[in-house]
C-alpha cells in the first residue's frame, strides 16, 4: 500500500502548475484532431504551440467561457494561416487566360467546366473552354459534354498532338470570336513525372496565363502537399483549387498546402454537378477543420477538472476554520465530476476509512444534498449550532430520518479533521486535487 501511496503522491506532486498542464493536454488533443483532419504534423505542431501561448496568456481556464475562448483562439490561428481574406482570380487580361493544372483524376476537367459556368452566370463573362488533354480522347469528349451542359463553347483540335500549340491557337480563336476568358484544361498523370511537368511548363510558357490554378484532390491528404510543391516549383501557380470536399475529408490539406507553398486557396469543389463550386472562405474552412463542437468540449473537460480560484478559496477557509456545509456541497460536486477520487483518497492512511461510507454514486449524494439544502445559511456556515431540534427540522425538510442527518454530521466532522490533517505539505497537494 505504501508503494501505491508514494506513487499516487508522486503523480500529484508531478502535476506542478496544473493550469498549464491542462492547457497543454487540451492543446495536445487539438493537435491530434488537426492531424486526424489531414493537417501536416509540423504545421499542426507550430499552430498549437502558438495556441498554447495565447491560451495561457489569456488565462483560458479561469475565463467564464473557456471552451469558446479556446475555440476562438484556434479558429483565429487557422484563419490567419489560410489567409484571412478571400482572394479572387485575375480577370484583367483581354482575354484573360486561365491555366488549369494538376494530377490525373484531381478534378481538373470538372473544375474547368464549373469555373466557366460560374464566370458566365455570376460574372457575365463569355468563356471559352480548351481541351488540351491530347492523350485521352475520352477526356476531350468529357469536356465537350460539360460544355454542352452549360452552353459554353469548347475549343478542340482533332488529332493534334502539341498541347502548347493547341492552347496558343485557342487564345487566338478567343480573341477573334469575342471570348473574354479562356480556360485551358490540361492532361495530368497519376503521379508527378518529368514529361508531364515539361509539357505543362511549355503550355505555361507559350500562353503566359493571367492566372494559373493548381487543382488538388482533398482526399489525398498528406500527399497533396508534395504534389503542390512540385507543381509550384514548375509553374509558380497563383492559387489552389481544393476538390472533392463533399466527401468526409475534414479539409486539413487546405491548411497544409497554404502554409507549405504560401499560395491562397481560391475555390473549393464539393461535387460532380456544375453548380458545386464555391469560393474559398478561410473562416468556413477553419470551422470545418475544427468541427467546432469538438474543441469546446475538450476545453470544458479540462476546466471541469480544474478550478484554481475555488481551490485557493477553500484553502483559506480551512486555514481559518471556516469550512462549512456549503463548501462541503461544493466538494461533493467536484467529487461527482471525478469519479475515481475515492480510489485515490483511499490510498491515504486514515482517509480511506473516513470516506468509506461516502458512496460515490450520484444517488447517495442526492440524499446528502437534500439534507444540506434543508439547512439554513447560518447552519451551513456554523454547523456547531445544529442541535437535536434543528436536526429534526432538517430531517423533515429533506424527507430523511434523523439518523441520516446524524450520519452526515459525522461524515462532515471526519472530513473537517481530514482536511486539517491535509494542511501539511503532502496534504496541500491533496487539497488541490480535491477541489478539481
Ligand atoms: P481530371 O482527370 O483532373 O480532369 O479529373 P476529372 O475532372 O475528370 O474528375 C475525376 C473524377 O472525380 C470524375 O469522376 C469527377 O466526376 C470526380 N470529381 C471531380 N470533382 C469532384 C468533386 O468536387 N466531388 C466529387 N465527389 N467528385 C468530383
Ligand atoms: Mg481531365
Give 343-389 pLDDT, tens digit per residue: 444 444 444 445 555 554 445 577 888 899 899 989 998 888 999 99
- Specify the fold of 17-84+293-303: 1.20.120
The CATH number of 96-280 is 3.40.50.300
- Are 282 and 71 in contact, with CB atoms under 8 Å apart? no
What are the DSSP calls for 60-86, one per residue? Answer: GGGSS-HHHHHHHHHHHHHHHHT-SS-
The CATH number of 307-434 is 1.10.260.30
> What is residue 301's predicted lDDT score, i.e. its pLDDT?
54
Which ipTM was obtained for this model?
0.99
pLDDT digits (tens, 9 = 90+) for 300-354: 555 555 455 666 677 777 777 777 888 777 776 665 555 444 544 444 444 444 5
Residues of the chain with pLDDT under 70: 1-22, 59-68, 84, 248, 250, 291-312, 332-364, 418-436
Show the 3-state SS of 175-223.
Answer: HHCCCCEEEEECCCCCCCCHHHHHHHHHHHHHHCCCEEEEEEEHHHCCH
Whether ligand 1 lies within 6 angstroms of the CB of 258 is answered as no
Q: Give the nearest ligand 1 atom to 270 CA.
A: 23
Q: Where are the domains of the chain?
A: 17-84+293-303, 96-280, 307-434
SS3 state of residue 268:
strand
Q: How remote is the CA of residue 84 from the centroid of ligand 1, in Å?
A: 28
> What is residue 431's predicted lDDT score, i.e. its pLDDT?
52
Instruction: State which of 105, 106, 107 you would mutate to test the pocket of ligand 1, scoring each by most atoms of that ligand within 8 A of its C-beta.
Output: 107
Whether ligand 1 lies within 6 angstroms of the CB of 278 is answered as no
208 vs 204: CA distance, rounded Å: 6
How many helical (H) and strand (E) elements, i.e. helices and strands, does the chain have?
A: 21, 8
Find the length of the chain. 436
What are the DSSP calls for 139-182, one per residue? Answer: HHHHHHHHHHHHT--EE--TT---HHHHHHHHHHHHHHTT-SEE
> What is residue 62's predicted lDDT score, i.e. its pLDDT?
59
| Grid coordinates of 36 | 486526424
Q: How remote is the CA of residue 105 from the centroid of ligand 1, in Å?
A: 6
Nearest CA to ligand 1 atom 26: 271
Amino acid at each position: 500500500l505504501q508503494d501505491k501511496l508514494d506513487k499516487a503522491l508522486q503523480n500529484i506532486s508531478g502535476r506542478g502548475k496544473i493550469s498549464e498542464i491542462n492547457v497543454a493536454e487540451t492543446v495536445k488533443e487539438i493537435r491530434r484532431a488537426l492531424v486526424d483532419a489531414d493537417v501536416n504534423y509540423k504545421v499542426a505542431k507550430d499552430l498549437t504551440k502558438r495556441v498554447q501561448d495565447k491560451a495561457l496568456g489569456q488565462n483560458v481556464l479561469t475565463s467564464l467561457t473557456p471552451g469558446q475562448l479556446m475555440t476562438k483562439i484556434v479558429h483565429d490561428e487557422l484563419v490567419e494561416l489560410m489567409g484571412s481574406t478571400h482572394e479572387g482570380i485575375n480577370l484583367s487580361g483581354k482575354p484573360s487566360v486561365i491555366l488549369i493544372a494538376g494530377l490525373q483524376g484531381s478534378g481538373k476537367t470538372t473544375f474547368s467546366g464549373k469555373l466557366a459556368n460560374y464566370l458566365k452566370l455570376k460574372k457575365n463573362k463569355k468563356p471559352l473552354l480548351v481541351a488540351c488533354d491530347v492523350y485521352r480522347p475520352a477526356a476531350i469528349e468529357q469536356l465537350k459534354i460539360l460544355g454542352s451542359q452549360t452552353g459554353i463553347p469548347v475549343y478542340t483540335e482533332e488529332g493534334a498532338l502539341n498541347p502548347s500549340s493547341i492552347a496558343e491557337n485557342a487564345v487566338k480563336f478567343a480573341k477573334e470570336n469575342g471570348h473574354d476568358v479562356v480556360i485551358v484544361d490540361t492532361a495530368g498523370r497519376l503521379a508527378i513525372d518529368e514529361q508531364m511537368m515539361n509539357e505543362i511548363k511549355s503550355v505555361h510558357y507559350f500562353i503566359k496565363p493571367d492566372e494559373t490554378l493548381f487543382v488538388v484532390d482533398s482526399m489525398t491528404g498528406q500527399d497533396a502537399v508534395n504534389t503542390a510543391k512540385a507543381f509550384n516549383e514548375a509553374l509558380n501557380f497563383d492559387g489552389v483549387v481544393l476538390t472533392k470536399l463533399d466527401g468526409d475529408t475534414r479539409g486539413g490539406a487546405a491548411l497544409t498546402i497554404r502554409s507549405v507553398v504560401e499560395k491562397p486557396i481560391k475555390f473549393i469543389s464539393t461535387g460532380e454537378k456544375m453548380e458545386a463550386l464555391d469560393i474559398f472562405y478561410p473562416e468556413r474552412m477553419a470551422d470545418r477543420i475544427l468541427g467546432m463542437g469538438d474543441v469546446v468540449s475538450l476545453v470544458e473537460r479540462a476546466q471541469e477538472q480544474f478550478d484554481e480560484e475555488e481551490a485557493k478559496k477553500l484553502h483559506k477557509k480551512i486555514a481559518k476554520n471556516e469550512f462549512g456545509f456549503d463548501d462541503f456541497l461544493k466538494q461533493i460536486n467536484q467529487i461527482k465530476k471525478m469519479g475515481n477520487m475515492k480510489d485515490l483518497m483511499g490510498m491515504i492512511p486514515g482517509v480511506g476509512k473516513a470516506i468509506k461510507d461516502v458512496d460515490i454514486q450520484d444517488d447517495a449524494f442526492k440524499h446528502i444534498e437534500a439534507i444540506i439544502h434543508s439547512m439554513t445559511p447560518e447552519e451551513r456556515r456554523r454547523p456547531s449550532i445544529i442541535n437535536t431540534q434543528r436536526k429534526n427540522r432538517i430531517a423533515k425538510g429533506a424527507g430523511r430520518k434523523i439518523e441520516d442527518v446524524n450520519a452526515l454530521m459525522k461524515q462532515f466532522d471526519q472530513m473537517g479533521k481530514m482536511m486539517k490533517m491535509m494542511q501539511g505539505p503532502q496534504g496541500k497537494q491533496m487539497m488541490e486535487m480535491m477541489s478539481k
